């Protein structure tokens, strides 16, 4: 008798500014995440880049996406949002005592909870995450697997929040599709950092998400998140600069991809290269400003892990190789990096954003910070 297949009941959703994607995730045969029924729906071509216009098109695309899973029993839904759907920041929390005192995970939870009580989200916003990325006791890193003694506790805290109205609108779409599912929200910078850290040997690196209308950058140094920043320029923004019709940028994107692959020759290649350099310079200026600000308080790591759609990734890598102010090494986050750590169901395909999310939810260790908050604290050493 054939073995009965396990019911896939966890749905991961990625909500960006160029597309929304989803996949069912379970534990594969080798105890690594298995992705099935991977789908991605474009939000638009970027012709309407205002936040309100993007929200309306994102909602519409999300509804279309979720309709594809209408016949699937889903118990858990984990929605991962990118900028501008969230706000994230880092804080260093410091607690001192005059005498040696025991430090445990409960000590950490109390410190984060106390901070959240003192620093609630902005008016109209709701908390999403409160995450201890790195913990030091008396200057030594620890995962607090067991109680330690110390007089000083330092917590590298990642915290995120989002507009209550935006969360409600996304939540409503998800709840309509899956009325009995448990729904949680998460932010992509955290997802990418934790997932990449589980794959990499480096403790110092940068992760950059180049989306349709936004770019988000995170700087890690010695396993501590040192800098977070975003700016409103993405690959749709750049393609509009090269398009005669801002509402139809597909041709410009196709030509850029051919150019990045060195498949254009002669005058067309030279003309497009010059136009790209002018458009790319705006992104480059914003990127350099972010790194310059980060360099004031932290060394700039050499590896730059680049996350984007496959075609735009080739443009931006080529642009960085030609205009690399800080001498970073741009490394694409692609199927080659993920394939040993993910299983894809038969007939499926790799989706980098959903793959990173699957790794994040597979590797994290969580503990609730107060029943009423529902925020997870992740301990990593």
**Phi/psi class of residue 149: alpha, beta or left (left: φ > 0; alpha: ψ in -120 to 50)?**
beta
Whether residues 106 and 228 share a domain: the answer is no
Whether residues 80 and 92 share a domain: the answer is no
As a whole number, mean pLDDT of residues 24-34 equals 87
Q: For position 308, what pLDDT does the model report?
A: 96
Would residue 344 count as lying in a domain?
yes
Q: For position 377, what pLDDT does the model report?
A: 38
Would residue 1 count as lying in a domain?
no
Whether residues 258 and 303 share a domain: the answer is yes
State the CATH number of the domain containing residue 171: 3.30.420.40
Residue from 336, 358, 334 nearest 345 by CA = 358
Whether residues 156 and 257 share a domain: the answer is no
Dist. CA 295–CA 85, nearest whole Å: 27
Whether residues 170 and 233 share a domain: the answer is yes
Whether residues 186 and 255 share a domain: the answer is yes
Whether residues 76 and 216 share a domain: the answer is yes
Whether residues 236 and 274 share a domain: the answer is yes
Asked if residues 209 and 287 have their Cβ atoms less than 8 Å apart, the reply is no
Domain containing 124: what range? 87-160+371-378
- Tell which wins on pLDDT, 124 or 249: 124
Would residue 47 count as lying in a domain?
yes
Would residue 4 count as lying in a domain?
no
Would residue 146 count as lying in a domain?
yes
Would residue 77 count as lying in a domain?
yes
Q: For position 371, what pLDDT does the model report?
A: 24
Q: For position 364, what pLDDT does the model report?
A: 59
Q: For position 45, what pLDDT does the model report?
A: 65
Q: For position 268, what pLDDT does the model report?
A: 83
Would residue 3 count as lying in a domain?
no
State the CATH number of the domain containing residue 127: 3.30.1490.110
Q: For position 145, what pLDDT does the model report?
A: 80
Whether residues 54 and 178 share a domain: the answer is yes
- Tell which wins on pLDDT, 357 or 365: 357
Would residue 320 count as lying in a domain?
yes
Whether residues 48 and 146 share a domain: the answer is no
pLDDT tens column, 38-72: 999 999 765 555 778 889 999 999 999 999 999 99
State how many domains the chain has: 2
Whether residues 299 and 195 share a domain: the answer is yes
Whether residues 40 and 102 share a domain: the answer is no
């Amino acid at each position: 008798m054939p073995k009965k297949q396990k019911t896939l009941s966890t749905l991961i959703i990625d909500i960006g500014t160029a597309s929304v994607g989803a996949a069912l995730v379970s534990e594969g045969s080798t105890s690594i995440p298995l992705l099935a029924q991977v789908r991605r729906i474009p939000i638009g071509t970027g012709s309407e880049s205002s936040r309100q216009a993007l929200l309306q098109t994102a909602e519409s695309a999300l509804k279309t996406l979720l309709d594809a899973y209408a016949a699937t029993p889903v118990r858990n839904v984990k929605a991962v949002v990118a900028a501008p759907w969230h706000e994230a920041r880092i804080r260093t929390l410091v607690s001192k005592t005059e005498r040696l005192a025991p430090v445990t995970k409960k000590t950490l939870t109390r410190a984060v909870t106390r901070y959240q009580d003192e620093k609630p989200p902005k008016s109209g916003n709701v908390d999403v995450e409160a995450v201890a990325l790195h913990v030091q006791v008396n200057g030594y890193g620890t995962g607090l697997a067991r109680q330690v003694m110390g007089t000083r506790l330092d917590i590298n805290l990642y915290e995120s929040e989002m507009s209550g109205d935006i969360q409600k609108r996304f939540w409503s779409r998800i709840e309509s599709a899956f009325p009995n599912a448990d729904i949680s929200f998460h932010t992509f910078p955290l997802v990418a950092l934790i997932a990449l850290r589980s794959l990499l040997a480096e403790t110092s690196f940068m992760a950059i998400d180049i989306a349709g209308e936004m770019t988000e950058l995170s700087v890690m140094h010695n396993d501590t998140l040192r800098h977070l920043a975003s700016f409103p320029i993405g690959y749709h923004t750049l393609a509009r600069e090269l398009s005669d019709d801002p509402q139809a940028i597909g041709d410009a994107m196709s030509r850029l991809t051919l150019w990045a692959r060195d498949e254009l020759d002669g005058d067309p290649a030279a003309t497009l290269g010059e136009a790209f350099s002018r458009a790319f310079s705006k992104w480059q200026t914003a990127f350099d400003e972010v790194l310059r600000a980060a360099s004031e308080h932290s060394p700039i790591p050499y590896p730059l892990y680049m996350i984007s759609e496959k075609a735009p990734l080739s443009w931006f890598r080529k642009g960085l190789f030609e205009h690399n102010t800080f001498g970073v090494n741009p490394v694409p986050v692609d199927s080659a990096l993920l394939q040993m750590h993910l299983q894809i169901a038969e007939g499926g395909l790799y989706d980098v954003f959903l793959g990173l999310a699957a790794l994040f939810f597979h590797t994290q260790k969580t503990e609730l910070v107060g029943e009423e908050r529902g925020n997870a604290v992740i301990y990593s050493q």
